[in-house]
Structure formats: structure tokens, C-alpha cells
Structure 1
Amino acid sequence: MKKVIWPVCILILFLFASCNPQSRNARNVILYEHDGNTDELVLQNEYLELRFFPETTEIVITDKATGVQWRSNPVGNDPLADTVTRYLQKSLFSVEYADVTGVGQTLYSLEHSIENGNYSYGIEGGVLEVNYTVGNLERVYIIPPAANEDRMDEFLENMPAGDRAIVRSTYRLYDIDNLRSTDNRTELLTLYPDLIRRKIYVIRPDAREYQKAEFEVIFAAAGYTYDDYLDDVETYPLTAGKERPAFNVTFRYSLDGRSVVLDVPFDKITFRPDYPMTKLSILPYMGAGGFDDEGYLLVPDGSGALIYFNNGRFNQLAYSNNVYGWDEGLIRNVIIVDNKAPFPVFGVQNNGNALVCIIENGASYASVQAGVSGRNSSWNNVYPRFDIIHSALMNISGRSDRDVYLYEKAPPSGESITLRYILCNEDGYVGMAKEYRTWLLKNYPSLNNSNLSGVPIAVEIPGAVNKTQHRLGIPFDLPLKLTSYKEMLGMVEDFVKLGWKNVQLKLNGWFNRSVDHTIPTNIKLINALGSKKDFQNLMTAARQNNYAVYPEVDFFYMRDKKPFDGFNLYSDVARYVSRERIQRYPYSFVWFGERTQWGKLSYIARPQVMMDIIDNFVAKAGTYGIQNIAFRNIAAKLAGNYDERRFVSREASMTMRRDKLAELYKSGTGVMLLEGNAYAAPFADFIVDMALDDQGFGITDVSVPFYPIVLHGLVPYTGRAINLAEDYTKNLLKTIESGAGLYFSFMTEETAILQETKFRQFYANEYHKWVGDADALYKRFASDFGHLYYQAIVNHVILSPRVTVTEYEDGTAVVVNAGDYAVDYEGRNINADSYIVLRQGDR
């Protein structure tokens, strides 16, 4: 019986230890104190002055050339603000935390740090550093509240004799066989259960605060750490008292040209183990505009959107959008609307001056928040909010009737949040876009190396999808041909005859059975589409006509797991914080949950495994004549791996992708991206499915082509396939307004063949019905816009809600009227749903 019990006990102890992520690598909360000095501090360079006010830690940025000032916080008291909003308005940041049950609270830097005097600051090496302690500051001394004799002796032996004697005199060594008459045996065993078999050192209850402070230094010199303290508290939890939430956050300000750079290092973020910091909002009212101001907020909604000051939409939900979309490494039960911000930028236009913020580091953790005046605030504001510690709901329903959450141990070591606030040379969202474009070119010089000319045009060709088909009355999931390799070759020959230049061909469903292909550790062409020779003939013909072929591959979702396919479900799948595998079915557009009865189960590959699969694919692709890759999800969906044994943060995962794309770019492998998140765009030869419109938030007023302005002339891009758009005319006009290229999706089979499949996205793909219209559109675009695609967009003007002007470097203006009525522009009539092109000599 004993042989059975001991292994079980060891297993239970292991599980308990592994399920307590806070027991290792924690950092102690430091108590910072203000020295009472009220002298203002100043950072300055040729362009800017940053003034720091110690009483509140607020900052004011002044443009030396114009005298324009940008304040971190509004001046005065807001009559509309409730208590919580008032604290936020006067704070530099807010901290959100939660406990093991998921219940949390928000603390504000003013109320819970500044008013308590728990902060310090100073300038060193041109950097202003402000250290905050937020929360309940009941002092916790990092000394053993209790420890068994063997453990205590390890530290006592490392102390000088004098210190050792002082410590021993302040601790009592309890012996269960030698208790005093006044000792309560039952109470002692409750506090120290292992006292029954070993002696325990316990600090005496009359130990003074100054003694504990001295002991903290002595024990630290003897090698005692915060992790040791947590171990002792875990061993004797009743000795620790009630732990309360407290946090450290450090802001580091510096000046760089016309930019103020704010760095928040993760290594300086600390919290107490029972109260992990879940979110951090930074400079929530930086540059905010009030009732008397004129301007707008720029938010990263699709292509970009504006929220006008005081627009009266305070009854709408406040704007909130995740940069780069939902973290796919977190549990998600339903998808109703899958909003995302493809670029990490927001800004404020206030009384003719523009301030733009680029999230340089930590963007993958960020969401952008924005609100308007009228509800509980007189101010219009936009700011970033960051996920710091992730969690997962544990499935322990058999042991507890309350929710229990498991949290990460600490923020990723070595990472930081970096915000670059730029005082723009030009006002408006175009001025902000130019600043971001300049920043991209400075950081990614290769961006300006596109060698294409004429109209950017991409054509998607779906090869095969999977469909349940019957053989001898038995149902099988088999490839269903939509376009064979020879038919793809026929399309290439047609395009050449039509005079199409530099066509970018994206092959979808070309290998491994289907559009939803199997795990791409191997490449297997689809027999139903033709032979390997047929495929190679296609590649050769495209190359001879200066067409680029991009076979599409999904390296993110792994489907159709088979034995010996090179993908291990135990070691290669990313995991939630709960350590469960990340696996999911497609989501239903009817009930919004996972389609477990109709849809393929897929797994998310660990970031490093994803990189390895890409390398393996590139090595094997050459034998098929493949020189380029269309990445389905590398620039569209992003996840970390939260299994602590192979932990990779979302930011680190993003960096791995960026490095891999840079490596492919340098090696000459062509890269096509779907959607084109900003971390990947600098390495793309072509982007398709890029957002050309906003996503319809109720609080926003108008969409603007911010992201297209940034990329135009640097990376060719298109919106959604024109023949698959829900609104053909709107899609076409947005394409023209945004300076985007053309994108079509063609197959040779009739769409009726897709009945009883889940591939309804190809509902309007019939090649022979569309090729004539596509050719007419191509020739029209070549005539009207062919000379514009590799110029920068220098201006964009909203004449009215649905009438815009896009201006290019050579003076050409494209006026788009997406309204219901004709309009007059400079004496020229523009019909509804139409446009005109005015070259410089025509104006």
C-alpha cells in the first residue's frame, strides 16, 4: 500500500507546485517616497521642451518653434466628471488587477500613489525617470516569518557572527517536545504543521519595525531572496497576514528630435503575487480636446477613422480596438465582430495642430481606447491600454463552486512598452500619416525598393476544396476540383493575350488536399488538379511572362492531424495559460460559437514550430519551382504560447515573424501577405485583402485612408477581391480613393458545385463570366491611374461625408463621389458613384 501512496503524494505535490505560477520569479514591490521637492524639471532639445511638475508628475510638451503646448492632463476640474473619471483625468496611468477568482479593481496614479507621496523621480543621462508605488503600502519585510531549523541554518551560516547572534535573539526556536507552559500546542500545530517532526524558527511578535528593516539587509546579504520569502509564506501561510494589492510602475521620458519617447520597462513592473496586474492604461488624457476645441481623434480602425470632437455620440460604446486583433492564445468562446487595428498608431488633431503616437514596443499587447465629451467627461481623448498579465479560467468544477483563474508569473523579462509621441510638421491625419511613413522608412530602409510598374494586379485562383463525396455509397472527405493546373495555365495565357502586366498570381487550395490544407510539413500536389509536370509548366509560363506566382500556405492553423506527419500534438501545439492545447473549430456566423459538428478542428502551432515549418517548406518548395509564398495568417492573426515550459510572449512571437520575413526577403523569396499587419508590411512584395474602409464603430464619424497613405508607393496593395465584395461599387470607389490596385478571384468551375460545402466565400468566382469585365476594369485603371501607383499620396481631403480628393506627388488629383447625388468640383460635374482624374495641367 505504501508503494502506491508515495508516488501519488509526490504527484500531488508536483501538481500543486506547478499550478502556483507566482511561487517563482516574482519581484518584490518597492516603496518609493517623494522627498517633498517641488522644483520643476525640464528636458529640452532643439525642437521641444518637456516640463515635469513634481506635485502631480504631470508633463507639458512645448513646441519651441510655435509655442504650441500638449498637456498630459486637462487643466481644472471637470463639472461633468464623476469621481472615477476625475481621478483618471488627473492621473498619468491606471492599473487594473485581479485576484484568483477573477474579481478586480482599478487603481489610479493620483489617488493611490501621488496623494500618498509614494513616488520618486530624477534625471540621468538625458532621461527623466519617474518611479511609482501604487496601492496599499503596508510594509512587507523580506525576512523569514517562520522557517524550519535546517532551512534557517543555511542562512545563519552565511552571516557574520555578530549578525547571527542578533537574528537568533529575535527569533524563537520552537520544539514540540520542549514547549513552555504558556504555549498553546494546538494553535502552534495549526500555524506550523511540520512542528510535529522538526524544530521551527519563528520571529518574535514583539520584534520592532527597525529590527525587521535591519534583518532585511542581513538576510539579503546571506542570500535570502523574495522567492525564498514566498516559499516560506507558502509553507506557513498563516504567518504572512493579509496581503494587499500594491504595484510598481516606472516611466522613462526622453526627447528625440520632434518626439517625446516614453518607455515603461517590464522589468520595473512589480506586483504582489495574489494580485497580478492585468492591464495598464497610459497617459489617458494626453492632448485631450474639450468643448471649446476644434479637432478630432485618429483611431486605427481598419484603414483609419476619425472621431470628431464633441460629436454628440456619447451614447455609443466607447471606442476599443485590439492592435493586431484578438490574441489567439487566449480563450474565445464566440466571435460576433472580429475587429482589429492593423497598425499601432493613434493621434489627436487639436486646434490646427497634430500629435501622433506610434507604439514602438509592446504594440501586440495594446488596445486603443477613445471617448467623446458629453457623458461623464467634458473631454475627447484617445490612449493605449496594455495587457500585462494573462489568465485562464481553470476547470475545477468538481472541487469548487467558484471561478478560479490561473495567471502568468510576471511580465515577459526584458520587454517594454515604448510610446513615441511626435509633434507633426503638418497638421491633420495626412500629417500624422507622413510622420508614420517617415518612421517606417527610417526603421525599414528596404521599404522603398519595389520594382513593379503599372497597375498592381493580383489574381487568386482556388484549386480545390474538400467536400463529402460518395464512393460505392460510402461518404469520403475528398478534394473537389475548382481549377486544374492546366486551367490555371490557360488563365495565364489569357492574361498575356489581354495585355495584363506584372500579374501576381495567388494559388489557393493548390496542395495537400484543399484550401483548408493539411499540415504543411510536406508538399503533396492534388491529383485531381493534374500532375507535377502540369504544375511546373504553370510556374514556368508565369515566370516567362514576368508574372509572380505565390502559392498560399497557412502556417498558423494546423488541420487534419495524421500519424507521422511531423507535427506533435503534445510538444508542437501552443497552449493557453491553463496549459490546455489551443485547438478550435471554425466559428459560426449564425450563432457565433464554434461549429464543432461541421468544421475541421485546427491547432495553433507554437511560434518556434511555426518558424521551423516555414523553413522546411521553403527547402522543399524549390523542387516544384516555387520561389514565392503567400502567407495566409502570418500578418493577420497573432498569438503567443503561454505554456510556462515553452513560454513565448505575443510580442516575442511577433518579433519572430518579423525576423523570419526579413530573412526570406533577404534570401530572395517573394512574400505576399493577406491583410498586412504593420509588423509584417515592410517585408511584403504585395499585400492583398488590406482594409480600405473602417469597421463601422458607432462612435466614429468617417473613415480615412490613413494606412494606404502610409504605404502608397512603398508596397503594392489591394483591398478585397472586387468580384467578391458585398457592395461592388463601394469597394471599387474605395479602391480608387485609397490608391489600391486590382484584385480578382477566379475559378473555372461553376459556383453551384460549392453547394453543401463550407466554402461559400467563392460565390462569385466564375472566370468566364468575369474575365471580360475584369479586363475592361484593368484597362480603365491603367489609363486613369497607371502613373500614380508608385508615387506618394501627399494629401487627402474630405469635401463632404462621401466626397473625397486624393492628391499625388505629381499634382494629380482623384476626386471620388460615393454619394447619391452629383456634385460640382472646381466647375466639373461628378456623377453619383463616380470619379474624375485631374492632372496637374487640368486644374
Structure 2
Amino acid sequence: MIKFKHLLPILLATVCIAGCGDATDTDTVIDVQDYSQEAEGKVYEVSNDKLDFVFNADTTQFTVTNKENGQVWYSNPQNADSDTIANGSNKDELFSTLIVKYSDNKGQDFTYDNYKYSVKDKRYSIEEIKDDAGKVNGIKVLYTIGDIEKTYIIPTAISEARMDEFCSKMESSDSRKIKNYYRRIDINKLRPNDNKDELLSQYPELAETCVYVIRELQSDSKFERVQEMFASAGYTVEEYEFDNSKINVSNATDKAAFNVAICYTLEEDSLVVNVPMEEIQYYKTYPIVSLCTLPYFGAGGTDEQGFMLVPDGPGGIINFNNGKTNQASYYNQLYGADLAISRDAVVDESEVSYPVIGISKNGGSMLSVIEKGSSYAIVQGDVSGRLNSYNFINYRYTMIHGEDMDISGKSDVTVKAYEKNLPKESIVQRYIFSDADTYVDMASVYRDYLIDKYPSLADRSAENHSTVIDLIGCVDDKEHVLGVPVTKDLALTKYEDADKIVSELSDSGIKDMSVRYSGWSNGGIHNSSLRKVKLSKRLGSKGDLTDFVENTTAKGIDVYMGGNFQYVFKTGLFDKYGVNRDTCKFVSRELCELPYYSPIYFDELPDEYEYYLARPEYAMGNVDSVSEYIADLGTSNIAFLDVSEQLSADYNYKHPVSREAAMNMITDKYKELAENGAKVMTNSGYFYNIPYSDVVTGMVLNNKCFNIIDETVPFYQIALHGIVNYTGEPLNLSQNSDETFLKSAELGAGLCYTLTNEPASVLQDSKYTEYFATDYSKWKDSIVENYNRFSNDFNGTYDEYITNHEQVAPNVYRTEFESGKAVVVNYNFNSYTHNGVTVPARDYIMEGGVN
């Protein structure tokens, strides 16, 4: 249990700030934090066996020292004052530890950094954090961030009797000055331009007595002097609140203001940074739309050598000072787009699959891992020479989501609608410090972290899942019945066909494979709601399906029944799906009825491609229904298609589900299935799938490379190999199958094939032309050949860690496993000689094994 101890008095100034509840902007009054009364030079120090944390109370900046190698990491650049590139807000941000972006009622965004809008004016407070044993192990800083006019503890208006009472306790000279600063109002002796009704409304006591109302003072020094005089007479905050209760004049500022807390604690080799979202306070008229924590922690200067690690695809290296200031800075969202945020088009962007960034310099490194709040994160980074003289990388978190909402069906007028509240969650980042200074060693540090946090990853058996066979049952297609187009199931791989294909591959020697069977019910790949499972008669009987599952399982091959659980492509009267009840909503309160986008020109496809996005709770109910049904077939294994590759929130105004909460629902379902003996296959490398998946398909093995990235590296695969079974995209559907095959060899991935018994030509006039090369009969020999080669070459390595990875020549890479076996991959179109051995063009060789 973490305990907080107040160390410093807080100035009892107040401002009205709306919090996360349903209160209006004037309902909640909180303290504006103030550190100005504290002695300068205060330093807080927290230490453990591995780290020293030193916090400067005057600047709220800090250092972390790694005791093992003596390396010091700074929260902010140390020579920011002398930066000749940064100016204005860019320079202020160099001194900041938090950057807040907010929106106004017109939807325009503005930015506050906590240096200019908090620290410079000492609007913060500091507390120590203690562990259960009472030992200090951290610091909590609460910032009031905004362009805030200081509120002084003096009466805005006060009855004549109370004014006389306090003046009698002052020096006579002060008493005279005080009354000069106030106007005495007698309701029976008003000035010609006074509005009697308005004055009585504002100052109800005027009906019975005279009231003193403060005049407009021209300087802070006068306000401070008046505050001192009232304080000498015993005027307290309680008196101030009493006087304010007697008037109807709002003291609320009309400017944006935010209270944001950030907690720092030490845990072994890590600094843990926690931002409690439920403690963030803000005006509802100025919603906080994003928050960037520690934007320049560990930033490298122009005189330093090093690199930044970005989680782009398998991993990307951005070298310090690479001069690419004419290229776009790095900016990419973790886990892709949230489909419950409306959009007009989709762009072909690289995937950010795992919540890790890193900096390597001076013989050591720092990894930043998001433990909570990763679903809101955007990774952003840049090199020196554009905004400032530093190389930096950080996370920016989306807070309150907003979008345009139509307010009239008779016009094009829209207003900006926002989420009602922030979720009661936290953002937690762990900074791990080590002497690892290469991406290989940094990946090993991350692997150790994963095994420590998810012990089940270390318990994986040495099963070799080198091949995944993905079978498609059926799709929907148009048939003409009496001249009328009718949607019918088009069988591509019947239950008996699936049994035959697996048997033939098994008889050909393929033993180490997993089978995913998708499109086996509810209208095929684009299924209807799975709350009620309905087999396709065109695929065969339930007995046929049971035979396939039992026969495959008897061969020692796992069968995973695939399905879309949150996508609902078809609806009917008796499918247990209520469109208005069970569909997610956009922030605009419209239903999430989503279009498909063209993979060629990235624009919307016709209405027939549209589908609904089901609420997360409903989607998890679909999983339960499928789990119950397939138990009768003889399996409990499920392949998750949509929820494993598309993470979305529900912005239902009355019953919202945050993106993070939706992610937790999914992982809880994975864990529940595992506890009941089921196996899980997921269809992307998104990290929330990794700790709970027996097999991961569709992992990105290459990136689409922001130009600012200098080198693509397999950081993710180095961290996961030996603890997770994974494959890349289906080899037969890859745009470059040779490249995918070689990448699979280089990164220790298995092979995946998407197959149908029917030829792909039957789909040429359908909306499923992405399955352009799935004909099993044409791929069987290649599957067997590639399996035999991988099985021979990589036998025994799938449960081993990758211990080294390097580029040995242009487009030639070498990956080494624990046993000493290594693969050398040549991507060139000409052969390459490695240690006297020829590596053929577009091929690989093994070292330490049988080629």
C-alpha cells in the first residue's frame, strides 16, 4: 500500500476547476498548488541497490543514476538555455516534464507546458511516497497547469460590520488604506449608473446592511499588500469562504486550467512513472485531449553518439543527429486506429505493435515500457536540428476524445462533441536502466522483463509450431434465384475437404503444424453475430465437422476454430443482435457502422461492404457462445481474428468502455480460456495478445519505414523468440513471398498458408479477391518442401533465444541462436560469400547445422 505524507504547506488560494465527474465548471473548487513559500534549494533523494533518484524541488527536474555503471540520465537537457535553435514554446518545453494539449468550444487545440504554465510560477506541490514499511521510495508532484490569475485571500465583498471588525484589528494606517481599496455601497444611496436589482442579486446582504466591494486593483503588489493587512487581522481561508458564500459573484476563471499529478517510484532497476487519470482535473469547456509525459527524458545532444529505438514493425533505429530534418518526424499510434473514432479514409501505415521505446548512449541504455495506458499511446520522436538541438523520443497519450456532431438534420451545422469523462485509470511507464547498448542486448533486457512479469512465458514447451495452415470454410456470394440476386454461402473448403487437406499434409510428413479453420459458420469469413452459432449446410453436417476436429486432434495437431467476434457483417431477426443496443457508438453518438476501405486507393467501398462494430461486452459474449459450441466438436481452441488485430473503444455516452478497458476485457478472456484448458491463436503481434497466445500469426516482420528511420532491426522478435510461437503473414498471399520466406528464416518465424479446396478463380467476381492464391492443390508441394527445409534447418531452435543479430554485408544478415546454430540470409539478387561459404542469391544458409 503506497502512503503519501504531506511535507510542504500549500498556499490556500483557490480556483474553480471542473473535475472528472458530472459537475459543471463552477461546481468544484480545488486548491491551486503553490510552492513559492518553500525554501529554495530543496532536493529529494531516493535510492535502492541499483538506482539513485535525485529530484530538484525548485525545477521539478530529476536525475537517475545507474549504480552499476555510473551512468546519469537527466529528465531534461542540461544545456537547454544555450540552445540556439529552440525558441518560444519549443524552448519552454525543453524545461518541462509534462505537456498538456487541450481544446476549446470551437474544437481548436492549444498547448500548455508545465514549465511556463506551472513551474515558473511555483504552482505545484510535492509529497513523499512511502512503501508498506514506511520507507520513502518516491515523490509525487501535483501541478496546476494554466494561465491562472492568482487568487488572493481577501474578501471580494464584505458586510460593513465585518469590515469594521477586521479593520479594528489592523494598524490605523492599514485600516484607512483598506477602506480606500473598497467601495462602500448603500442600497439607499446609489450612483446614477448603478443597477439596483443587479446589485441586490449579486450582494443580497445589501437589503439589510451596507457592503464593501473591492475596487479593481492595478497590480499584484497591491493585492499582496491587502492580503497581508487582512492576514494581520486574522482573516483566514474560512473567513474568505464565508464571505464568498454571501455573494452571487463567480470567482471562476474563464481560462483553461488543469491539475495533473505525476508519481515517481524506484523498483529495483527501474523508475516507475504513474499519472493517475482519475486525479486529473479540468474545465469541461476546455477538455484535455492529450498528455505527454517526460518529453525529453534521456534526450541526446548534438555532441553525443547514440540511437533511439522505435517500435515500428519489428523495430527501428533512429541515429542521433542523422540530419534528416527534411523528413517527417516519427509519429505513430500504438495498436493502430480505434475504429470507434470516425474517419474518412485509411492510410497504409506501419504497425506499432509493442509499448517500448529506448535510448542508447554512453555505454548504456534506457527502455521505457508502458504497463498501463498503452492503448492511448502515440510514439513520437525527432532528431536534432528541427525544433531544437536534441534527439528525443516519448509517448503522447490521447485523453478526451472528440469529434464533430450534427445538431440538425436540416443544415450542415456541427458542434464539437467530447467524451463525458476521463476513465478512472492510470498511465504507468517503467524506465529500465542497464548497461546494454546494442539493440540485441536491449531486446534481451526486455525479454527478461517479460518473463518476470508474465511467468507463464517461461513455461512454454519446446513444441515446434513451424507451420500454420489457415483454412477458409465459406464466404457470402450473390446467386440469382428466379432472376433475383440472393446472398448465399459459397463453399470453399467443406468440412470433409478440411479433413482431407490436413490428412494429406500430415501423411506428407508435416507433423509440427497448427490448423486454423475460419469461415466455418454464420455465413463465412464475414460472419453474422456469433451469439447463436449456425453451421453452413453447404459445408456439410455437424457430424462432418466433428470428424474433422477429432481426426486432426488424433494426429496430435491443434485445431483452432476462428471467428470475428466484434465485427457483425450481417443481421437478422433471430440472431440475438440488436443493432441499437449492441453496437458501439462514436463520440458523436452515432452507431459504429463501418465501411471497408480499398487496399488500392484507400477510400470507402460501396455500402454492401459495411459492417457493425459490436460493443466489447457483446463481443466477449460471442466468444463464450463459440466456446460452448465447439466443446461438442471435441476442441476448446479458439482463433481470434478481429479482436486480436483491431482494438476499439465504445464511446456510448451512457455506458462508455475505454480502449484500455476493452483491451483488458480481451486479455481477461484469453486468460479465462487458458485456465479452462483451451489454447489461443491470435492474428497480430499486438502486445496485448503476446502473453496469452499459444500461436501468433500475422506478425509484422518488416516495416514500411519512416524515412527518418536509419535501420530496421528485429528487436521484437529477438525479445520473443523462444518464448512465443509466431509466424508472419500467409506466404501465399504475401505481395513478396520470397521476401516473407527469407524474413521468416532471418527472424526465426514459422510459415503460414491460407488455403481453400476450391480454386481461387471462383472468387474473381466476388468481394473476396484478396484470396487470390489460396488453391491448395497448387501450393501443396511448396508447403511440404518449405516445411521439410525449415524443419531440418531450424530443428531445435524454436524454443531457443536469439543471442545475436547483425548485418554482415549490405542486405545480408546473420541471426544466431542459443545453441550456436546461425542462419545467414542474403536478400541480394547475386550470391554472397560468407566465411568461405556461398550464400545463393535470395536464399539462406545455416551455420552449425545441416544445410
Structure-2 change in CA distance of 1:255 and 1:185 (3 Å): same
Structure-2 change in CA distance of 1:543 and 1:124 (3 Å): closer
Question: Which among 108, 121, 132 is matched to residue 143 of structure 2?
Answer: 132
Mean alpha-carbon deviation: is it higher for 495-504 or for 446-455?
A: 446-455
Match of residue 206 from structure 1: 214
What pairs up with 1:508-657 in 2 under 5 angstroms? 508-599=518-609, 601-657=610-666
Match of residue 114 from structure 2: 109
CA contact (8 A) 2:33 2:142 kept: no
1:41 paired with 2:44, answer yes
CA contact (8 A) 2:356 2:369 kept: yes
What pairs up with 1:331-346 in 2 under 5 angstroms? 331-346=342-357
Question: Which among 305, 314, 318 is matched to residue 303 of structure 1?
Answer: 314
Question: Which among 91, 100, 119 is matched to residue 95 of structure 1?
Answer: 100
Question: Which among 774, 781, 787 is matched to residue 772 of structure 1?
Answer: 781
TM-score by length of 1: 0.86
Match of residue 797 from structure 1: 806
Amino acid at match of 1:677: Y
Distance in 2 between the 1:532 and 1:459 partners? 21
Structure-2 change in CA distance of 1:144 and 1:627 (3 Å): farther
Amino acid at match of 2:501: M
Match of residue 54 from structure 1: 57
Shift of residue 242, structure 1, vs aligned partner:
5.3
Match of residue 417 from structure 2: 406
Listed one character per residue, the Cα deviations across residues 291-349 of structure 1 (whole Å, up to 9, x for unaligned) are 23222111111111111222222111111111111122212221022443111001011
Structure-2 change in CA distance of 1:218 and 1:715 (3 Å): farther
Structure-2 change in CA distance of 1:142 and 1:535 (3 Å): farther
Match of residue 350 from structure 1: 361
CA contact (8 A) 2:368 2:431 kept: yes
Listed one character per residue, the Cα deviations across residues 22-55 of structure 1 (whole Å, up to 9, x for unaligned) are 5699674633324242132221111111122233
CA contact (8 A) 2:314 2:712 kept: yes
Distance in 2 between the 1:834 and 1:588 partners? 33
Distance in 1 between the 2:534 and 2:492 partners? 17
Distance in 1 between the 2:825 and 2:211 partners? 78
Match of residue 5 from structure 1: none
Listed one character per residue, the Cα deviations across residues 163-206 of structure 1 (whole Å, up to 9, x for unaligned) are 9xxxxxxxxxx9xxx9987698989579979x9xxx99999743
CA contact (8 A) 2:466 2:787 kept: no
Amino acid at match of 1:47: K
CA contact (8 A) 2:349 2:704 kept: no
Distance in 2 between the 1:204 and 1:645 partners? 47
1:715 paired with 2:724, answer yes
Distance in 1 between the 2:529 and 2:239 partners? 57
Mean alpha-carbon deviation: is it higher for 482-491 or for 437-446?
A: 437-446
Distance in 2 between the 1:44 and 1:361 partners? 24
Amino acid at match of 1:814: V
Distance in 2 between the 1:41 and 1:482 partners? 68
Amino acid at match of 2:283: R
1:480 paired with 2:490, answer yes
Shift of residue 122, structure 1, vs aligned partner:
3.8
What pairs up with 1:683-694 in 2 under 5 angstroms? 683-694=692-703
Match of residue 15 from structure 2: none
Distance in 1 between the 2:277 and 2:142 partners? 13
Shift of residue 56, structure 1, vs aligned partner:
2.0
Amino acid at match of 2:290: K
Structure-2 change in CA distance of 1:54 and 1:614 (3 Å): same
Distance in 2 between the 1:285 and 1:540 partners? 57
Structure-2 change in CA distance of 1:141 and 1:581 (3 Å): farther
CA contact (8 A) 1:523 1:621 kept: no
Question: Which among 261, 275, 278 is matched to residue 264 of structure 1?
Answer: 275
Q: How many percent identity over aligned positions?
A: 33
Distance in 1 between the 2:639 and 2:587 partners? 31
Question: How many residue pairs were aligned?
Answer: 785
TM-score by length of 2: 0.85
CA contact (8 A) 2:465 2:513 kept: no
Structure-2 change in CA distance of 1:257 and 1:503 (3 Å): same
Mean alpha-carbon deviation: is it higher for 334-343 or for 542-551?
A: 334-343
Match of residue 10 from structure 2: none
Structure-2 change in CA distance of 1:192 and 1:649 (3 Å): farther
Question: Which among 739, 745, 755 is matched to residue 748 of structure 2?
Answer: 739
Does the residue aligned with 2:500 lie in a helix, a strand or coil?
helix
CA contact (8 A) 1:354 1:431 kept: no
Structure-2 change in CA distance of 1:485 and 1:204 (3 Å): farther
Distance in 1 between the 2:209 and 2:264 partners? 46
Distance in 1 between the 2:621 and 2:585 partners? 18
Amino acid at match of 1:751: A
Amino acid at match of 2:319: Y
Structure-2 change in CA distance of 1:388 and 1:220 (3 Å): farther
Match of residue 706 from structure 1: 715
Match of residue 33 from structure 2: 31
Structure-2 change in CA distance of 1:243 and 1:500 (3 Å): same
Distance in 2 between the 1:829 and 1:748 partners? 39
Does the residue aligned with 1:730 lie in a helix, a strand or coil?
helix
Amino acid at match of 1:706: F
1:460 paired with 2:470, answer yes
Does the residue aligned with 2:627 lie in a helix, a strand or coil?
helix
1:313 paired with 2:324, answer yes
Distance in 1 between the 2:53 and 2:264 partners? 9
Match of residue 677 from structure 2: 668
Distance in 2 between the 1:180 and 1:543 partners? 97
CA contact (8 A) 1:26 1:409 kept: no
CA contact (8 A) 1:329 1:582 kept: yes
CA contact (8 A) 1:49 1:62 kept: yes
Structure-2 change in CA distance of 1:352 and 1:563 (3 Å): same
Match of residue 440 from structure 1: 450
Distance in 1 between the 2:423 and 2:760 partners? 49
Structure-2 change in CA distance of 1:112 and 1:462 (3 Å): same
Question: Which among 289, 295, 302 is matched to residue 278 of structure 1?
Answer: 289
Shift of residue 216, structure 1, vs aligned partner:
6.5
Mean alpha-carbon deviation: is it higher for 815-824 or for 292-301?
A: 815-824
Shift of residue 531, structure 1, vs aligned partner:
1.3
CA contact (8 A) 2:793 2:850 kept: no
Structure-2 change in CA distance of 1:755 and 1:840 (3 Å): closer
Structure-2 change in CA distance of 1:185 and 1:200 (3 Å): farther
Distance in 2 between the 1:389 and 1:92 partners? 20
Distance in 2 between the 1:27 and 1:677 partners? 42
CA contact (8 A) 2:806 2:814 kept: yes
Match of residue 338 from structure 2: 327
CA contact (8 A) 1:810 1:840 kept: no
Distance in 2 between the 1:457 and 1:648 partners? 37
Mean alpha-carbon deviation: is it higher for 72-81 or for 825-834?
A: 825-834
CA contact (8 A) 2:32 2:123 kept: no
Distance in 2 between the 1:582 and 1:336 partners? 19
Amino acid at match of 1:775: V
Unaligned stretches of 5+ residues in structure 1: 1-18, 147-161, 164-173
Does the residue aligned with 1:644 lie in a helix, a strand or coil?
coil
Distance in 1 between the 2:662 and 2:481 partners? 44
Listed one character per residue, the Cα deviations across residues 379-415 of structure 1 (whole Å, up to 9, x for unaligned) are 21110001111112121367998752122343212x1
CA contact (8 A) 1:366 1:385 kept: yes
Distance in 1 between the 2:524 and 2:155 partners? 62
Does the residue aligned with 1:310 lie in a helix, a strand or coil?
coil
